[in-house]
A and B are shown apart, each in its own frame.
Chain A
Amino acid sequence: MRDQNAKQNDAMRSDGRILECRGIERSFGGLKALKSVDIHVDRGEIFGLVGPNGSGKTTMVNVVTGFYPPNAGSVQLFGQDITGMKPNRVARMGVARTFQNLALFRGMSVLDNILLGRHVHMKPGALPSLFYWLWGAREEIAHRRAAEDIIDFMQLQDIRDEPVEVIPMGLQKRVELARALVAEPRFLILDEPMAGMNQEEKEYIARFILDARDERNVSILLIEHHMDVVTAICDRIVVLSYGEIIAQGEPKAAIADPQVITAYLGERAAARVLQANGGAP
């Protein structure tokens, strides 16, 4: 295990950068959703991307994963330039992500959804299906083991055969996380994985995120609204507002920045808060 990690580390650049985005710009029509944003994610880090609704967080992730090629700027992944690369190629490089609005495959069982996460490691084609008994079965079963590992890890045993659309929202989010993790990514991007969850469910997910980083050596980019979670599990954050970085660094310090409070609460309310706390919340 240790050996394998060492090898993987060597394969990466010496400074251990997972992601390096420079001067990313992206606009939709006249709207500038991202205005020259620089972010980076280091290996083994849980990096938080924070900001009010519409500040460009999801757009940033879409730029990284290849859905929206940037209008300007460059994206480097594992030391390789991937600007404008197709999403499926980015995924093959070892990036997995979840969506803010779930993107599970309806009509399929939880297990099949998770098995789909193994796609990058499989060789799907018509011939393995035609010669299932000679060829396809062995591959299916090998990957079933990996899927069952994740099902245990994410505690989804009871619902593995349920159609994915009938289970509650919180569990669906967990299934999506499982589908991302089963691909054994090196870099995991989570877009508001706790949206609409209660405290207990949030704690579960936070635990899974920490475990994924510690036990599975995944570096993580986390978009999150819940500040308690962000300060508890992120190593470093960047705060976006209207497509610009307004604060970054250690989570507690960054979200206490007057500009951040203003961005979240608006000018007047922010002024009141800052005054009440004597300028140091």
Chain B
Amino acid sequence: MFYRRAGIRFTRYRDERQIWPLPLDRRLMLLVLLLALAAPYLLDRLYLVGYLLPWLIWATAALGLNLLMGTAGQVHLGYGAVIGMGAYGSVHLVRAGAPLELAMLAGGLISAAVGIVFGAAALRVKGLYLAMATLAMQYIVDFVISHVPFISGGSQATITVPPVRFLGIPIVGDAAVYYMALGVCIVVTLFMLNVRRTAFGRALAAVREKDYAAEVIGVDTFRFKLLAFWVSSFIGGVVGSVLAVCYLRSISPDQFHIELSIQLVAMVIVGGMGSVLGSFFGAALILFAPIVLNNLIGFMADSMDMQISTDLRAHVPLMLYGGLIVGFLLWEPLGLAKIYNNMRNYFLVWPFRHAQR
């Protein structure tokens, strides 16, 4: 078949530890990258701005959350608030005249700083209690954002963003915004891929798997959990600034409620905990499944001349969507990435199934 592992031997450790050791994977990724770069010229505006762009942004956010949940094994039910802090921070900086580069960095730092304060408190507890503590963070941040007029301009207010430039290039028009989001997405993706093959990722995985065994090999478990909080929140903050300053160009408090946090957690779980590719799959499914399901039901209602009440029609996609998530938790807890991997492993050695591993 297409994938072949046979005959590939490495003579240097560096080669063996490549992100994609198989030549075919590398070619595939190159193709994906080229398509991503050419997308503004290939795709209709509707698809670019309506689908691809949000997908990139939310996949980047899912990657950031996946570092914490998948790699380090710490639940976070307030990641939407983390993104919100970065978004508000950078929007205000941009409005005050700061350059976008600085605003993005500051957005990340604000999220990371607040995130780590909550993290330090929350990490004294584990599992379910950690989930509750991060949930508390979500509500506190929500409350503060919408009730401090200095930040939100009032709970109903929408703040608009002036035009910005990145490295001298004006971020106006669909293509520029798209490339901006793509750039951030590529950096975060490469970072996540590198985390997996370096000591940082191993230490986080050790903390996730067995904290006492991590301690005994010298890993300061508390410090590494905090570090995971820090980095993950930083990524969230940067995504927030890309989202608000570049993509939406306006911001209001209701964008960063608990629903967003839940969706992000769902992306990570459905996509695959700890999987980079999975974050992309998960973001796609969570973003587009409701749309697809909605269209499907609309189509069925129309073509079969069924009488579906608008009420039902609004809720069925949501129910199916909930069922989808439960289904993943039950049948494939490792998510879409695992399903993809199983298929890939099958074809890697096809037709010699016994050589699989």
| Chain A contacts to B: CB under 8 angstroms | 65-67, 86-88, 91-92, 96-97, 99, 103-108, 112, 115-120, 122-126, 128-130, 132, 136-137, 139-141, 143-145, 179, 183
Contact = CB atoms under 8 A, between A and B. Distances in A.
B210 interface: yes
Contacts of B202: 108, 112, 115-116, 119, 124
A129 B200 contact: yes
Contacts of A91: 215-218
A227 to B, nearest CB: 27
Interface string B169-198: 000000000000000000000010011011
Interface of B: 13-14, 17, 191, 194-195, 197-203, 205-206, 209-210, 212-221, 227, 230-231
Nearest to A105: B209
Contact of A128 (B13, B198, B205, B217): B198
Given A86-B220, A104-B213, A140-B198, 13 more contacts: A88-B216, A88-B218, A92-B218, A103-B213, A103-B216, A106-B209, A119-B218, A119-B219, A124-B199, A124-B203, A132-B198, A136-B194, A143-B199
B196 to A, nearest CB: 9
Interface centre among B14, B198, B216 (most CB of A within 10 A): B216
A136 B201 CA distance: 12
A144 B199 contact: no
Contacts of A140: 13, 17, 197-199
B119 to A, nearest CB: 15
Nearest to A144: B13
A136 B14 CA distance: 11
Contacts of B205: 105, 107-108
A99 B210 CA distance: 12
Contacts of B214: 88
Contacts of B216: 65, 87-88, 91, 96-97, 99, 103
16 contacts: A65-B216, A67-B212, A87-B216, A88-B219, A99-B213, A99-B216, A104-B213, A105-B205, A115-B202, A124-B198, A124-B199, A124-B200, A132-B197, A132-B198, A136-B199, A139-B198
Contacts of B14: 137, 141
A116 B344 CA distance: 28
Nearest to A108: B205
B142 to A, nearest CB: 28
Nearest to B207: A105
A84 B199 CA distance: 28
Contacts of B200: 124-126, 128-129
B231 A87 contact: no
Contacts of A132: 194, 197-198
A138 to B, nearest CB: 9
A91 B212 CA distance: 12
A126 B190 CA distance: 12
B218 A183 contact: yes
Contacts of B215: 66-67, 86-88, 91
Contact of B198 (A88, A97, A136): A136
Contact of B217 (A66, A117, A126): A117
A267 B195 CA distance: 59
